[in-house]
């Protein structure tokens, strides 16, 4: 695997090192030893998948705070998604900065999303699926989010939003008083 730092503290794009022959290719998508050599968290508590039949579906921007803060490693296993992370760590030099990239089943790229980052994605084609590993079990009391269109983050989604949950559309503005903002203080 090839680990490329993204300029947001602790975030990485991970590319497969494919070994190809007449049968196709073989590549690793997980190796604890390689993650550890890159200084990344190797603990996996859950592996989740999200499937969306319609292009333009938006999921996010989600994170868990407090004792259930989690690292995510996201990979598109079918179709294509526009994957976004936002640094919500108030003590970070990249606080409130976003990074976005296209993850596809064909390119095999993965995003390493550190603790303290919000994460979300938009499907670019119908029948897209994202798989992501997390370092913590889902805990409803720690689950929060930020609005996908919060102007503070300057995210340019590539498609009009065709489908989104009421919860994701209704997250409050990010700033003082927001649970994720207040939890990032004093880390």
Q: Verify whether residue 62 is a known catalytic residue.
A: yes
CA distances from 93 to 97, 115, 163 (A): 9, 15, 33
φ, ψ (nearest 5 deg) of residue 136: -140, 150
The active-site residue, picked from 62, 68, 144, 178, is 62
C-alpha 2: how far from chain center = 18
Is 132 one of the annotated active-site residues of the chain?
yes
d(CA 12, CA 111) in angstroms, rounded, equals 6
Q: Point out the catalytic residue in the list 99, 132, 144, 178.
A: 132
Which residues lie across from 45 on neighbouring strands? none
* 89 φ, ψ (degrees, to nearest 5): -85, 110
Burial pattern 10-33, b for ≥16 Cβ within 10 A else e, equals: bbbbbebeeeeeeeeeeeeeeeee
Strands 98-104 and 58-64: unpaired
Active site residues: 62, 132
């Amino acid at each position: 695997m090839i680990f490329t730092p993204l300029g947001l503290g602790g975030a990485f794009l991970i590319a497969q090192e494919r070994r190809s022959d007449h049968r196709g290719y073989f590549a690793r998508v997980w190796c604890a030893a390689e993650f550890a050599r890159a200084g990344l968290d190797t603990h996996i508590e859950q592996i989740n998948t999200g499937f969306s039949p319609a292009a333009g579906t938006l999921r996010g921007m989600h994170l868990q705070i407090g004792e259930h803060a989690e690292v995510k490693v996201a990979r598109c296993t079918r179709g294509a998604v526009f994957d976004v992370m936002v640094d919500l760590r108030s003590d970070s030099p990249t606080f409130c900065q976003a990074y976005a990239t296209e993850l596809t089943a064909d390119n095999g790229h993965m995003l390493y999303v550190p603790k303290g980052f919000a994460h979300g994605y938009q499907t670019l084609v119908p029948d897209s699926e994202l798989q992501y590993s997390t370092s913590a079990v889902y805990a409803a009391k720690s689950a929060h989010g930020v609005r996908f269109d919060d102007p503070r983050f300057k995210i340019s989604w590539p498609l009009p939003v065709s489908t989104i949950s009421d919860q994701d559309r209704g997250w409050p503005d990010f700033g003082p008083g927001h649970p994720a903002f207040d939890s990032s203080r004093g880390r």
